[in-house]
Amino acid sequence: MKRDTENREYRKYRRYGRYIYHILNLLMTTLDFKIQGAEKISDDDNYIYVFWHQKLFFPTVGFKYLKNKAALVSPSKDGEILATVLEKYGYEAIRGSSNDRNIQSLILMIKKLKKGYNLGLAADGPQGPIFRTKPGIIFMAMKTGKKIVPIGGAFKHKYIFQKAWDKFHFPYPFTRAAVVVGDPLTVPPDADLKTYSQRIDQEINRVDDRAEALLNSPSAG
């Protein structure tokens, strides 16, 4: 009986995910996007794309052109909604955490990277603390040699979910948006996890600030 109830709950959350997917598609047709730095990415390689959880909107809808991509999603019921949306956009959803203690998730993601998959990861996700890169991301880069690419984003007009741990940003229709692709970063195999986690914090903040500046520049209109 308990399992039947849980299955019904998960089906309900997946249904929510399908609704959200259609809403996002409609919303995307109204947004005016500006992208900077896409030329830094080589079609001949795969990467670990990182961003803050509050800016999850950008990689969810903006990376649909990437082939062979996977994303880490919380195993919670709420995560079922995001997993459904991501799958609709062509992602393979890996359930778990990027914490270095979550061995199973790390092994799965390392295998995906070695198979040529791109990974999209909220550096502080799936449950925070906010704006703190999980060391598991650095560990994966060390073990695979794949570069970490920071992604920044900004909306000119947005709703901020103040009660959410990540203060999630969601755009208003017909607003302007900017995405900035940072410089791919190589992590040496003997890197210090804490030092490089802090460096990724700085790089994501830098491209986020750059995205905000793009929206506020005179040429932005």
Q: Which domain holds residue 112?
A: 2-220
Nearest by Cα to 151 from 72, 214, 220, 59: 59
Average pLDDT, integer, range 196-200: 98
Predicted confidence at residue 5, as pLDDT, reads 57
Q: Write the single-letter amino acid at 69.
A: K
- Beta pairing partners, 94: 72
Predicted confidence at residue 22, as pLDDT, reads 96
Q: Is the pLDDT of residue 193 over 80?
A: yes
Dist CA 99 CA 202 (whole Å): 19
Dist CA 169 CA 153 (whole Å): 10
Phi first, then psi: give them for residue 188, nearest 5 degrees: -65, 155
SS3 149: strand
pLDDT digits (tens, 9 = 90+) for 13-42: 999 999 999 999 999 999 999 999 999 999
Compare 168 and 4 and report the one with higher pLDDT.
Answer: 168
- Going from the C-alpha of 220 to that of each of 10, 61, 142, the distances in angstroms are 43, 22, 38
Average pLDDT, integer, range 182-197: 97
Phi first, then psi: give them for residue 166, nearest 5 degrees: -95, 0
Q: How many domains does the chain have?
A: 1
- Going from the C-alpha of 123 to that of each of 2, 51, 131, the distances in angstroms are 34, 6, 8
pLDDT band at 102 (very low <50, low <70, confident <90, very high): confident
pLDDT band at 146 (very low <50, low <70, confident <90, very high): very high
Predicted confidence at residue 99, as pLDDT, reads 58
Sign of the CA dihedral running 41, 46, 50, 55: positive
Predicted confidence at residue 221, as pLDDT, reads 54
Cis peptide before 129 (omega within 30 of 0): yes
Q: Write the single-letter amino acid at 126.
A: P
Could you tell me the pTM of the whole model? 0.91
pLDDT digits (tens, 9 = 90+) for 155-186: 999 999 999 999 999 999 999 999 999 999 99
- Going from the C-alpha of 143 to that of each of 10, 114, 122, the distances in angstroms are 34, 10, 19
Predicted confidence at residue 4, as pLDDT, reads 56
Predicted confidence at residue 74, as pLDDT, reads 82
